[in-house]
Structure 1
Amino acid sequence: MAGGPVTGHVSPEQLQIVTQILSSDPLNYLWIALLGFMGGTLSGFIGSGGAFLMTPGMMNLGVPGVMAVGANITHKFGKAMMGSRKHGEMGHVDKKLAVFLLITALIGIKLAVWVNGYMFHHLGKAGSSLYVSAFFVLTLSVIGGSMLRDALRTARGTAVGPSKALLNLSSKLRIPPMINFPVAGVKISLWTILFVGTAVGYMAGTIGVGGFIGVPAMIYVFGVPTVVAAGTELFLAMFMGAWGAFNYALAGFVDLRLTFLLYAGSLVGIYFGAIGTKLVKELYIRMVTAILILLCCVSRGLAIPEYLHKLNIISLSERSAQMFELGSKFFLFASGGIATLLIIYWTLKGHIEKQRLVKKYGLISIGEKSLSA
């Protein structure tokens, strides 16, 4: 596999990888759909695509990192398109800001696809998975740790949200030209926008997760209101997803079977998650997100020794390799499963309590009033 082209060529090995994984165990069809369901539930609940669960989950089933990212970013495109439309109707999308971010985000994605393809063709399946896993652990452990710290501060009453240190810093870096964005209500340096756009694109193209950089960056670096940041990121993700899907497909790294299996689960899960956001405290949402991200990082971290062993960088006994593999799968599917069950439990509990109050006091929610009007 070494020395092969990075893009524009699909090898027979690439075409057979997913076929071999699915045919080796028919239950893998169910596992991938289950990953989609868990990711969709989390997507509706926390406003993210759940890629931090789905990408490593597919890798745990044997899908090379580059193909897991390719399937997930293709899957993300469809969901972002639906979400962006809804936010657009509510006026939560700053299209001007999205266009400026998109310029360098597309460059970042293209670079990420090239690097991922290079790793796959020159270091094989293990090298590709090692690169994606290492990037995953390094970036999301920082994000998850920061989110957990801020949630705990909120729970203790010492803070009401994430630190504004980055916003204060960026407000001092007013390097011309300054661009005004009326919908978001902010004025930002073009250079800051281009830097953030590149970072968002590269992260989305590398591990399929862009919103965890894009949304916080817009809120805590640009000072954009939360609802506008979420809507603008979805609008941006629609084009990033399409561009990422095209480039990964061009390189032969998108298997539509994986994408459709993810959709089969996520379109059901996202319904439960979206309902849960109206019935569960915001602090719980932040804490669940942070803890799950960190557990997914632990899962990817446990998978790294096996990839190093396959690349002959370290030596592991067969038993040790099996233990690392089992631990990685356990942490990912157990944490994702528990988080999903908690969301469904909280949602059902909140719904039952709401119906009890409606029946007892004859209360009608604002949403129901608008529907009956």
Structure 2
Amino acid sequence: MTMTEIKIELTTNKKDKPDINNLGFGRFFTDHMFVVDYTEGKGWHEPRIIPYQPISLDPASKVFHYAQTVFEGLKAYLTVDNKVLLFRPESNFKRLNASNERLCIPVIDEELALEALKQLVEVDREWIPNAPGTSLYIRPFIIATEPCLGVASSQNFQFIIILSPVGSYYKEGIKPVKILVEQQYVRAVAGGTGEAKTGGNYASSLKGQELANKDGYSQTLWLDGREKQYIEEVGSMNIFFKINGTVVTPALNGSILHGITRDSMIQLLKAKNIPVEERQISIHDITEAYHNGTLEEAFGTGTAAVISPIGELKWLDERIIINNGEIGEVTQMLYDTLTGIQNGSIPDQFNWTIKL
């Protein structure tokens, strides 16, 4: 399969563009989508860009019954001089293939996927919003389409990429959120699918999110599934703490997603000569740092928000207030720097962005 084989069918019925000031997240979708099929014995075939449309699947398709599916999330940005930048897309497709390996899904050609993404974004370029903080969210995903109820890997798949213009995650500026430390449920365990980006991980997190919201908290802080004391992720984000001048984040352990924003933050911190460590962190380490006055900042990282500062943790009956509930200096610097690189207003010394 070569790059030139991507066929393009343009829509004859373009959609009306949404209000740029009311985009929200993942609510509107562009005019086109990329699709490529997989058939056992034939491999991936018929890569094409077609008008955005519903997917027709047999009710017995394995994705519905055994959740054999993976996905990714990344963004395209419009610079002030009207150039389009992609942020680390190669890392997303590399991680997608790591998820594929775990879910017994055939790996994709990463070069083809990147070329397809570039062509799709160019076709729907007019959908990229230009207001501050806005971007074009990109959702690649793979679904098992074989109509068979036997519990075995599917012999047929579809790899699809869709695009969604999204608004600024922080309409009124970054504000620290309140987080509830989950004690009953767990997100994932080592040896499970926690380090893969698969839908089931997110479905299993919804109950904790629901309980946190009922208590007035924005998100759940997940602890490990074995001892329920070691910190893993916050909501669907990786988490960082600044303790006594050093930024620490849970080491990847087989149940934590290898976040691309997480990796970017670690590289930024090292470039700024700020001490950073990847290691096991317990909730008891955090409470101890809080009580001795060395817990200075906390934040989550992910594609959607880039950074979500944390102003409060609730663990058992204790409220842990971080930096007086205000965004920290390092958190703000990381947010400003990474978003600046993403939108082209700050030089990209790491070669993370691809200009279309």
Normalising by structure 2, we get a TM-score of 0.29
Q: Which has the higher strand share?
A: 2
Give the number of the structure with larger relative contact order, counting CA–CA contacts within 8 Å between residues 6 or more apart: 1
